Amino acid sequence: MNVTFLRYQALNAFFKGDWEAVFHASLKDFQECRIDKKGIECFFSRRGDIVPEQEMEKLEACGARILIQGEKDFPPQLAHIPSPPVILFLRGELTPEDFPSLSVVGSRNISSYGKRALEDIVSNVARKGITIVSGLALGADALAHKVAIENGARTICVLGNGIDFLYPTQNRAFGEKLLKENKGAVISEFLPGIEARPEHFPIRNRIVAGLSQATLVVEAQESSGSLITAQLANDQGKDVFAVPGEIFAPNSAGTNQLLLNGEATPALSGEQILQTFGIENLSEQKNARRRIPTTDTESEILTLFGDEHRMHIDDLIRHSELSGSVISANLSIMEIKGLVKQLGNQVYAKNV
């Protein structure tokens, strides 16, 4: 059973967070917590083939760990997208410096024009400290990851298969090298041993778009999966850029259609994307923020977070002797300094 967010909420509420009890639950239990029929049938048809201890051994063998929504280290960017993931598997590390990021997608058979455009745009974005997110596929994806690292940025690879295998095989050595050198991370929603399938890639693409502040489509044919990523990014309220292409080139038919429909902004340079981001001088901003001294009050507020990655302002006030107005005013200044980030609805994440 695919643990969708709605199923996760129902199971978590009914079993009070006891996931071992969920695994051993009866059909009646699942029916009482109102799991849909398809989910129930899928779970009970596959439960006999799953040995949790063996799955954990496979994760440990490939150096992966589990991220669970609502818990520490789960990317907050993914908690607010439609159909958010509940569980992610991670190899390598995600850092606060990875966000904001730019996702880059495009044709597996990228043209010489597409390569030139991608290298020019992405290199300029990467030099400003922007992490590049893509899917490790052949063509545009692999080139985007490579250009990011060559220009001093980190990169995140999102897989459409099990976390234990870097697919496709042609890019496996590259992926292993970036993990070994701590230049990025690999993420998947799929357990070890699960093969790449066509139906997995739209699932993967929503993660690619969700992790990023904006998405760049370099080249795409009319039926390209890159257009799905662009649509998902639009649905998530993210900025979408597309490289304009020759009107007779099949690889540009999809990107040109995005531009014609007003679903993307023409991408003409890396500087233009950074300007739209509002972070033209991100590296300089980060360094400047680090040089601004932290006041005693700010340090006290940071201490309130403890091991929590994010907290609502009401919880900060409740656990502090400071007044609400003092905490609110200081959070605004701390956000400017880059010490915290507001995730929306007065929920704050600690950046240090």
Task: Report d(CA 134, CA 324) in Å as an integer.
Answer: 41
Q: Would you say residue 308 has pLDDT above 50?
A: yes
Q: Would you say residue 47 has pLDDT above 50?
A: yes
What pLDDT is stored for residue 288 in this prediction?
A: 47
**Total-model pTM:** 0.75
94: nearest Cα among 34, 47, 39, 155? 155
* Confidence at 338, pLDDT banded by 50, 70, 90: confident
Q: What is residue 237's three-state secondary structure?
A: coil
Q: What mean pLDDT do residues 324-347 have?
A: 79
Phi, psi of 58 (to 5 degrees): -65, -40
As a whole number, the mean pLDDT across the chain is 88
Contacts by residues 54-59 (CB-CB < 8 Å, ≥ 24 positions apart) = 55/191, 55/192, 58/164, 58/191, 58/192, 58/193, 59/89, 59/163, 59/164, 59/191, 59/192
User: Could you tell me which residue, 282 or 323, shows the higher pLDDT?
Assistant: 323
For 114-125, letters b (16+ CB in 10 Å) and e give bbebbbebbbbb
Q: Would you say residue 293 has pLDDT above 70?
A: no
Angle at 134 between CA 128 and CA 136, to 5 degrees: 125
* Confidence at 325, pLDDT banded by 50, 70, 90: confident
Q: Both tokens of residue 289?
A: 């923020």
> Which of 44-58, 77-91, 121-135 ranks highest by mean pLDDT?
121-135
Task: Report d(CA 338, CA 289) in Å as an integer.
Answer: 6
Residue 205 burial class via C-beta count within 10 angstroms: exposed 0-12, middle 13-18, buried 19 and up = buried
